[in-house]
């Protein structure tokens, strides 16, 4: 394995330290009589006092500290140390020549209640020092991996890793898997750069620990992201080399707190597995936001008292049987839960920072399968069946997605634990395939910004920039994650290239060309050589090109000179004189939803768009303010010719604006139903004002229909007028569907849940849809007759209604003979079924 370059080195000591000299003082006696216990205020923050009333020690389990070594002679540590190893100088003892490892060891296991120094969270324990880092706190992944493996092979059950690296490594991933397979718990610090979680904390089975201040807020330097599990106090007072003590801070000091807590729990419950220890730490953490898991605090603040006193839950996410009860989980972690039986639905929510793919792996018996329904942030519904042990991808858009999980065998009567691992792959950027110079994506010859990704192994992105006129050019590459260390290459065709790699991980790379001449320039953006894996993050390539530009649309200063433009084609122009006016015209062939977008407006310039119809009657005017570089006019346009006049508050000639007109034909007032199998039903019920779409002229036929939407449609369709007083905690009188729900409740079509909620945004299943429409016609179902579908039985609650509805030709199933009653119903399905009933 190649060594890591210095700029990509693992650094264990994340922040500077403040040293407090040892002095004799008054013993502050609470649960520990150690003289410096009063300085250990973080112990109260995690409720260590109450935890010590349960247990103070674990002398039967080894905790390995893979770090800079430990002060082997420190009187407050020596009784709790066991033999370790020095991987840097194999013939020497693992003596700490930096101080960081001694700091970490003291947090875990400085001898407690011994009238000396500080109290570790374990008053008595077994700490194995493994020196894998140099005296300056740096090291390579090879030694780190050796250190973890040595700990596992020599009996450690917990390994503390207060160190980090931005680079993903297949080698380290295998080491982490090696530990997991041998039931060893890895606990790691997230890092202290105010950026993304470092590795090894970022691997899915490593317990990742961030840092919080004394007031519970996340320290601004604590790394955050989807891999964070829990947080612990940032500031500690602990042991130091030379037999002394000092204040330290950082996630390096938070991680050992979690490791020590795990040791206390494991000592009292030796039958537990590492994944259960990991899950219980999450389960008992103090939710600092009140909103469940989040990328800043994870599941919350470590609470050792709860960890030792509360029972372990096989499924900490219950109740989550409905969409509005969905529990937020990470898009990049392994968790465990359980199905109580075949009828149990488990809802989860994930938040994606980018478009991409969430890969779902379900760990359960390979003979079992799970139906997974996924609704992404745009409302698109996808249903897949996942076998035990299988990994299945789901496309997601940026924002919140929902996953509904249920055993395929709905008749299963026993509790079924499962592991759920999620991982995220970022989207393929729109400039691919541009991994070779001859495939370079051609950029417009003007100042431009593009966002790119490294979505695959060894991704290389080439761009071609044509310079048409002499000018100057400045090129910048920025990134939103330290996992990208961008490298920039610039080359004019036929000339020697220049490579720019001056910054460290996450730093901006820039290159200025004071003078550029007409010709083709190639620009290559890559991650640094050692970072070849796909990266979850974006880079931005910004090219600032200044030239004496010429407006290609002139002359167009009069309406009769208006430039005729085509739909979905960008047009660039200038307002280069104080009296300059640019006229354009476009034609709409059929009634459409039209967007007129103006972008790339120079900074500080206010541009005006004046829209006219074919008779030159004013229709609308739009203006951007000087701080925005874009604006838009949109609306419903009838067939005809339209004119657009552009003006500006001041001239500009060093950057072209871009004008783009888009028209989406409307059918029944919608842009997205043409050719859809439910088009006729949608048009029919829209005409009867039974259904409507959204403000953006879409119907979104494939979007799951909610309880509120379905109830409103039924209320309108059957012209319900009588209503009864209702009171649901989540449906105020101001809710848009309140009256419809009240009417449907009066008619006996819909009801709430036992917890006095209505869950208006909960998706309706196909069975619920069928039942609602059956009740609308006063159907009660029938018991006799053959089963109508292959995936329901006589014990299923809706079988009677399905028999009656099928017999009367009001419903149908799928080609395989199934009905899929628990699958979410779409707006199109609901409308189509309703249309069949109303005929």
- For the record, the structure tokens of 514 come out as 């004071």
What is residue 790's three-state secondary structure? coil
- For the record, the structure tokens of 617 come out as 């009657």
Cα separation, 821 vs 799, in Å, equals: 10
Which of 295, 355, 311, 349 minimizes the C-alpha distance to 327? 349
Pairing of strands 582-588, 563-564: parallel
Cα separation, 387 vs 813, in Å, equals: 23
Backbone dihedral angles phi then psi of residue 144, each to the nearest 5 degrees: -60, -45
**Beta strands across the sheet bearing 356-363:** 334-339, 416-426, 356-363, 391-396
Among 252, 401, 592, 715, the active-site one is 252
Instruction: Name 561's Cβ contacts closer than 8 Å, sequence gap at least 6.
Output: 555, 583
Cα 427 from chain centre: 13
CA distances from 4 to 140, 188, 227, 525, 532 (A): 6, 20, 23, 21, 13
- Start-to-end Cα distance in the chain: 72
Cα 492 from chain centre: 39
* 59 is known as an active-site residue: no
Radius of gyration of the chain (CA): 32
**Count of all residues that appear for the chain in the document:** 839
* 252 is known as an active-site residue: yes
Q: What is the sign, positive or negative, of the torsion defined by CA atoms of 196, 201, 203, 204?
A: negative
Among 8, 47, 74, 100, the active-site one is 100
| Block residue for tokens 């009292």 | 268
Instruction: Name 502's Cβ contacts closer than 8 Å, sequence gap at least 6.
Output: 509
Q: For residue 780, with 0-12 CB atoms within 10 Å meaning exposed, 13-18 middle and 19 or more buried, which class applies?
A: exposed
Q: For residue 26, with 0-12 CB atoms within 10 Å meaning exposed, 13-18 middle and 19 or more buried, which class applies?
A: exposed
C-alpha dihedral over 735, 738, 741, 743, to 10 degrees?
Answer: -160
Q: What is the sign, positive or negative, of the torsion defined by CA atoms of 98, 100, 106, 109?
A: negative
Among 8, 13, 34, 67, the active-site one is 67
- DSSP codes of every residue in 641-674: EEEEEEEESS-EEEEEEEEEEEEEE-BTTBSS-T
The 3 state secondary structure assigned to 84-109 is CEECCCCCCCCECCCCHHHHHHHHHH
Per-residue DSSP letter, 746 = H
- For the record, the structure tokens of 274 come out as 């590492």
Cα separation, 575 vs 652, in Å, equals: 6
b/e sequence 369-384, b meaning 16+ C-beta within 10 Å? bbbbbbbbbeebbbee
* 447 is known as an active-site residue: no
CA distances from 601 to 472, 568, 648, 687 (A): 19, 19, 10, 42
Q: How many CA atoms lie within 13 A of 630 on its CB side?
A: 9
Q: Catalogue the active-site residues.
A: 67, 100, 252
């Amino acid at each position: 394995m190649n060594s890591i370059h210095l700029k990509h080195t693992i650094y264990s000591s994340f922040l500077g330290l403040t040293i407090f000299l040892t002095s004799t003082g008054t013993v502050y006696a609470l649960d520990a009589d150690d003289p410096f216990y009063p300085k250990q205020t973080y112990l109260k923050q995690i409720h260590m006092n109450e935890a010590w009333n349960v247990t103070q020690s674990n002398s039967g389990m080894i905790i390995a500290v893979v770090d800079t070594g430990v002060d082997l002679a420190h009187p407050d540590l020596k009784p709790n140390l066991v033999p370790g190893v020095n991987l840097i100088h194999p013939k020497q003892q693992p003596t700490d020549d930096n101080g960081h490892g001694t700091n970490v060891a003291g947090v875990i296991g400085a001898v407690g209640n011994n009238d000396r120094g500080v109290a570790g969270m374990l008053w008595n324990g077994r700490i194995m020092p493994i020196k894998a880092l140099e005296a300056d706190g740096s090291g390579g992944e090879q030694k780190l991996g050796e250190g973890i493996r040595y700990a596992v092979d020599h009996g450690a059950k917990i390994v503390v890793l207060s160190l980090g690296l931005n680079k993903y490594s297949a080698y380290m991933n295998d080491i982490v898997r090696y530990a997991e397979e041998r039931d060893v718990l890895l606990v790691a610090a997230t890092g202290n750069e105010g950026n993304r979680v470092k590795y090894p904390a970022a691997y899915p089975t490593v317990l990742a620990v961030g840092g919080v201040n004394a007031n519970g807020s996340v320290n601004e330097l604590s790394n955050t992201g989807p891999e964070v599990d829990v947080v612990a106090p940032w500031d500690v007072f602990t042991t130091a080399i030379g037999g002394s003590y000092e204040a330290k801070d950082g996630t390096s000091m938070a991680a050992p707190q979690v490791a020590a807590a795990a040791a206390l729990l494991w000592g009292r419950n030796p039958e537990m597995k590492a994944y259960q220890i990991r899950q219980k730490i999450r389960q008992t953490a103090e939710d600092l936001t009140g909103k469940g898991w989040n990328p800043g605090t994870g599941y919350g603040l470590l609470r050792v008292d709860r960890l030792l006193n509360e029972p372990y839950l096989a499924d900490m996410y219950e109740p989550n049987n409905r969409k509005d009860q969905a529990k937020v989980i990470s898009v990049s972690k392994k968790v465990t839960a359980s199905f109580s039986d075949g009828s149990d639905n488990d809802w989860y929510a994930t938040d994606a920072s980018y478009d991409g793919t969430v890969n779902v792996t379900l760990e359960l018996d390979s003979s079992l399968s799970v139906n997974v329904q996924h609704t992404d942030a745009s409302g698109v519904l996808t249903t897949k069946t996942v076998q035990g042990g299988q990994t299945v991808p789901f496309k997601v858009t940026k924002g919140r997605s929902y996953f509904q999980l249920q055993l395929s065998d709905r008749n299963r009567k026993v509790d079924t634990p499962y592991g759920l691992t999620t991982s995220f792959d970022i989207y393929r950027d729109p400039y691919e395939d541009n991994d070779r110079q001859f495939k370079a994506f051609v950029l417009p010859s003007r100042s431009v910004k593009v966002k790119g990704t490294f979505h695959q192994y060894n991704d290389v992105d080439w761009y071609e920039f044509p310079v048409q006129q002499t000018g100057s050019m400045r090129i910048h590459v920025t990134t939103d994650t330290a996992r990208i260390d961008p490298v920039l290459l610039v080359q004019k065709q036929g000339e020697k290239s220049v490579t720019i790699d001056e910054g460290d991980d996450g730093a901006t790379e820039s290159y200025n060309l004071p003078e550029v001449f007409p010709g083709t320039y190639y620009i290559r953006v890559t991650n640094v050589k050692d970072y070849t894996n796909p990266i979850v993050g974006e880079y931005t390539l910004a090219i600032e090109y200044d030239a004496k530009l010429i407006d290609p649309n002139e002359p167009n200063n009069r309406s009769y000179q208006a430039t005729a433009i085509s739909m979905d084609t960008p047009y660039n122009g200038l307002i280069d004189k104080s009296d300059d006016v640019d006229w354009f015209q476009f034609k709409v062939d059929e009634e459409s939803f039209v967007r007129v977008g103006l972008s790339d407006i120079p900074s500080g310039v206010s541009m005006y768009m004046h829209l006219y119809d074919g008779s030159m009657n004013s229709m609308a005017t739009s203006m951007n303010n000087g701080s925005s570089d874009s604006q838009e006019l949109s609306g419903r346009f009838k067939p005809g010719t339209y004119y657009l006049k552009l003006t500006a508050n001041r001239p500009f000639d060093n950057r072209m604006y871009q004008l783009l007109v888009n028209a989406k034909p409307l059918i029944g007032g919608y842009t997205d139903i043409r050719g859809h199998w439910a088009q006729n039903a949608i048009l029919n019920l829209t005409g009867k004002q039974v259904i409507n779409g959204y403000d953006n002229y879409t119907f979104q036929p494939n979007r799951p229909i909610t309880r509120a939407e379905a109830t409103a449609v039924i209320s309108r369709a059957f012209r319900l007028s009588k209503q009864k007083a209702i009171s649901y905690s989540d449906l105020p009188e101001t809710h848009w569907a309140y009256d419809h729900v009240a009417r449907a409740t009066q008619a006996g079509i819909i009801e709430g849940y036992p917890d006095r909620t209505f869950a208006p945004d909960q998706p309706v299943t196909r069975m619920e849809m069928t039942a609602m429409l059956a009740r609308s016609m006063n159907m009660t179902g029938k018991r006799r007759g053959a089963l109508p579908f292959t995936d329901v039985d006589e014990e299923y609650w809706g079988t009677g209604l399905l028999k009656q509805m099928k017999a009367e030709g009001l419903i149908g199933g799928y080609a395989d003979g199934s009905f899929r009653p628990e699958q979410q119903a779409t707006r199109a399905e609901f409308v189509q079924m309703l249309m069949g009933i109303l005929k």
